[in-house]
């Protein structure tokens, strides 16, 4: 790439799978963006996708909100010359790219160049790799019999190659969140893959954008302490990035929320274990050198974030089958509700014992009294006005997990006075895909690019 100057504007289109769609449309329509980036894939999303694929072979494997998101932004991106980078491909980036191409044609963008970026599938080889599980130190081989997926965290380089080849839209699978935003900077400014200073700054900016509204006041407001204007109308942020990586974080006019030193600092350290050593596939970021300045209303200038050479390994998320969870709820209200809940717990534990429940874990929580803090919960100062009793068990088989719902059903007429019970239309048993991590040599992961 020829080195370019001038400001590059990159906007956020999503911070997670279930994020709101209107703020993405506002950015596409009114944000004057060069790039719009969607981050919808987390570890839990990989697990949910694998569970659904096992349950429904017709599931295409990509973001379930892909159609809605693309239909909301494609007409504006086409009109404004905005390119898109998105990890909505989940476990099947090529299928997602094909669908996006269809949606582009539907929107009148018939000549859009859509590329799918897919990383090496390690599920067939990692079980015999001799590697260790990061969380436990046990060998990966110990979970080989239950392994169903092994998703490496790719970085920005393959996205950059796709953009260099003229892609208007790049759809990926498991790519590290900041890398989605770093790739347009590398492409536009011609940053080298070993320019650690600029990659550190760019990845830091990507980290500020990746969680969407969290930097504009989402997941921030605390009434009376940290008030947020018009929180029902939160925008997603954008960054005006300069050639050295310095950027100003802003949002479109006429939207709610706020961008100030507080929101930026909270997001800067969100999910960061060591601020001096935030490891990404592209660079090791050091936030301790950052310089922040309030540049105007809802504008924060960010510079000085530094970087060090990337690691020789890449993280892999491994999905493993870990049985089933059975879960249900019922309710008590009015005087004596907490005493009723306590007696209901005794009844359920005895009935589940009689039913021969085999559970690796059984929890009964009183929502409104102890569901968050458990045994550390303080005794209530006064009688609650209502209690929801939640019961959940992790079991090896679906048949065992189904016993939870059956016994909760019995509480409707074989329980206590004033038991409030939901009609069980919802599925009360779900399969569990546990997630474990390991590190693989970088050379063992390759990314392919396929244009649709």
DSSP string, 89-149: TTT-HHHHHHHHHHHHHHTT-TT--EEEEEE---TTTGGGS--B-TTT--BGGGGGGGEEE
Sequential DSSP letters for 205-255: HHHHHHTGGGGTTTTT-BTTTB--SSGGGBPPPEEEE-TTS-EEEE--TT-
Kindly give the interhelix angle for 66-80 and 22-30, rounded to the nearest 10 degrees. Answer: 10
First to last CA, the chain: 23
369 with 234, same domain: the answer is: no
272 with 361, same domain: the answer is: no
174 with 26, same domain: the answer is: yes
pLDDT band at 2 (very low <50, low <70, confident <90, very high): very low
349 with 223, same domain: the answer is: no
249 with 308, same domain: the answer is: yes
Give Cβ neighbours of residue 85 (< 8 Å, ≥ 6 apart): 35, 36, 37, 38, 159, 163, 169, 170, 172, 180, 181, 183, 184
258 with 369, same domain: the answer is: no
Which tokens in the block code for residue 63? 């973001």
Which tokens in the block code for residue 437? 């991590």
Return the residue matching tokens 């059975």. Answer: 326
State the pairing for strand pair 306-308/284-286: antiparallel
pLDDT at 4: 55
pLDDT tens, residue by residue, 184-242: 999 999 999 999 999 999 999 999 999 999 999 999 999 999 999 999 999 999 999 99
Q: How many domains does the chain have?
A: 2
251 with 171, same domain: the answer is: yes
Average pLDDT over residues 164-177: 97
109 with 156, same domain: the answer is: yes
Cβ burial 3-27 (10 Å sphere, 16+ → b, else e): eeeeebbbbbbbbbbebebebbbbb
Return the residue matching tokens 């802003």. Answer: 250
pLDDT at 383: 87
Residue 22 lies in a domain: yes
223 with 367, same domain: the answer is: no
Which residues constitute the domain of residue 256?
8-123+150-313+439-451
Return the residue matching tokens 């295409």. Answer: 60
Residue 330 lies in a domain: no
pLDDT band at 1 (very low <50, low <70, confident <90, very high): very low
């Amino acid at each position: 790439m020829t080195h370019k100057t001038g400001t590059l504007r990159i906007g956020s289109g999503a911070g997670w799978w279930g994020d709101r769609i209107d703020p993405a449309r506002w950015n596409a329509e009114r944000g004057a963006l060069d790039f719009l980036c969607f981050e919808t894939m987390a570890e839990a999303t990989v697990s949910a996708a694998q569970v659904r694929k096992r349950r429904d072979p017709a599931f295409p494997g990509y973001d379930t909100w892909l159609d809605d998101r693309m239909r909301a932004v494609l007409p504006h991106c086409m009109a404004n010359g905005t390119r898109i980078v998105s990890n909505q491909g989940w476990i099947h980036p090529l299928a997602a790219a094909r669908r996006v191409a269809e949606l582009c044609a539907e929107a009148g963008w018939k000549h859009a160049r859509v590329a799918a970026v897919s990383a090496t599938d390690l599920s067939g080889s990692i079980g015999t790799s001799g590697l260790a599980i990061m969380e436990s130190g046990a060998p990966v081989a110990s979970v080989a019999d239950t392994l169903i997926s092994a998703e490496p965290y790719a970085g920005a380089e393959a996205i950059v190659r796709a953009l260099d080849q003229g892609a208007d839209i790049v759809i990926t699978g498991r790519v590290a969140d900041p890398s989605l935003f770093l790739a347009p900077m590398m492409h536009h400014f011609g940053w080298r893959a070993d320019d650690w200073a600029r990659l550190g700054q760019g990845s830091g900016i990507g980290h500020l954008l990746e969680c969407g509204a969290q930097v504009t006041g989402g997941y921030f407001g605390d009434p009376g302490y940290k008030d947020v204007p018009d929180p029902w109308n939160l925008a997603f942020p954008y960054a005006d990035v300069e050639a050295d990586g310095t950027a100003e974080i802003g949002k479109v006019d006429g939207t709610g929320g706020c961008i100030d030193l507080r929101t930026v600092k909270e997001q800067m350290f969100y999910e960061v274990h060591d601020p001096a050593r935030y490891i990404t596939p592209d660079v090791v970021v050091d936030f301790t050198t950052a310089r922040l300045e309030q540049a105007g209303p809802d504008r924060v200038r960010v510079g000085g974030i530094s970087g060090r050479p990337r690691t020789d390994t890449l993280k892999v998320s491994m999905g493993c089958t870990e049985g089933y969870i059975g879960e249900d709820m019922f309710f008590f209200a009015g005087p004596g509700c907490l005493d009723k809940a306590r007696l209901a717990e005794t009844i359920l534990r005895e009935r589940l014992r009689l039913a021969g429940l085999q559970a690796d874990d059984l929890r009964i929580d009183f929502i409104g009294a102890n569901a968050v803090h458990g045994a550390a919960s303080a005794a209530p100062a006064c009688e609650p006005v209502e209690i929801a009793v939640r019961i959940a068990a992790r079991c090896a088989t679906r048949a065992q997990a189904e016993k939870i719902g059956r016994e909760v059903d019995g509480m409707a007429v074989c329980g206590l006075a004033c038991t409030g019970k939901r009609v069980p239309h919802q599925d009360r048993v779900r399969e569990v895909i546990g997630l474990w991590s390991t590190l693989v040599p970088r050379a063992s992961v390759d990314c392919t690019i396929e244009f649709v």
